[in-house]
Amino acid sequence: MKNVLITGCSSGLGRALAIEFARQGWQVWATGRKKETLSDLVPLGIKAEELDVTSEKQVCQLISQVAAEGGIDVLVNNAGYGAMGATVEMPETEVRMQFETNVFAPLKLVQAVAPAMIERRSGTIINIGSISGQVVTPFSGTYCASKAAFNSFSDALRIELKPFGIDVMSVKPGAIRSRFAENAKQALARALPENSFYKPVEKALWKRANASQDRPTSAEHVARVIVSRVKAGKASGSLKLGNGSRSLPFLQWLLPESVFEWVLSRVFQLNHLK
């Protein structure tokens, strides 16, 4: 039985992936910040483990534990964190948390898992990024920057690890049903200053925080597509899934930069500011 390690399984796509991999006969190691949020996965034969992906100690302990039970055949870097708000007003703590969770944590996991994959000349790494790493929108600058970095190192990994028989797939979702918006709104509530320059368009900030739940694609559908790619040995390259994942990049390509930015400024009411 092959092992798959998935981060961020408390809800959304991570949870759906854990269930789908288990349904397909894999031994799933599902992780989350709080183990109790994973308890209902255990009856499905899924191993639930508490993991703060930003803790190097916890990561090393878990990798050693899985290695003792056959090693990791597939790593899914799904855990993520998003804080929305005006770039010039974003607290440094929120910026750092996004990069720690969205960039440095998955990089450390890859560096911990890859050596064993290289030695046996097989393995798959799936990085769940975001279309926000390609199409930048107002009030999400630091989040978009972290996902752009994630996309970039995924592309480099794919080329570097291919000679060793390791597949790397970068998934760039659009809107997928999850608790991401709920968490993003909590972060915005912490980050939005009372005297914000953007107070007149505060509704637009909340709109951006909730954008991931705008006509979202079901997490279960996305999970089925990803798992089917892994089973077919086609988990490489880039994969765009979810509402907006293809239409937004196409619109950005189609329109002149100035026109695209004009559209965004009106969608997010920036034309109302003086």
Catalytic residues: 143, 147
For 70: left if phi > 0, alpha if psi spans -120 to 50, otherwise beta; the answer is: left
49 phi/psi in degrees, rounded to 5: -130, 135
Neighbouring residues of 64: CB distance < 8 A, sequence distance ≥ 6: none
3-state class (DSSP) for residue 34: coil
Instruction: Measure the CA–CA gap between 49 and 44, rounded to whole angstroms.
Output: 14
Amino acid present at 175:
A
Please list the helix, strand and coil fractions of the chain in percent, rounded to the nearest 5, in that order: 55, 15, 30
**Which single residue is written with the structure tokens 């720690």?**
100
Which ranges of the chain does DSSP label H, i.e. alpha helix? 12-23, 56-67, 92-99, 105-120, 141-161, 180-191, 202-209, 219-231, 247-254, 257-267
Instruction: Measure the CA–CA gap between 42 and 96, rounded to whole angstroms.
Output: 33
Structure tokens at 39: 């308890």
Instruction: Measure the CA–CA gap between 176 and 89, rounded to whole angstroms.
Output: 27
3-state class (DSSP) for residue 82: coil
Instruction: Measure the CA–CA gap between 26 and 121, rounded to whole angstroms.
Output: 20
Query: In this structure, are residues 260 and 252 in contact, taking their beta carbons and an 8 Å threshold?
Result: yes
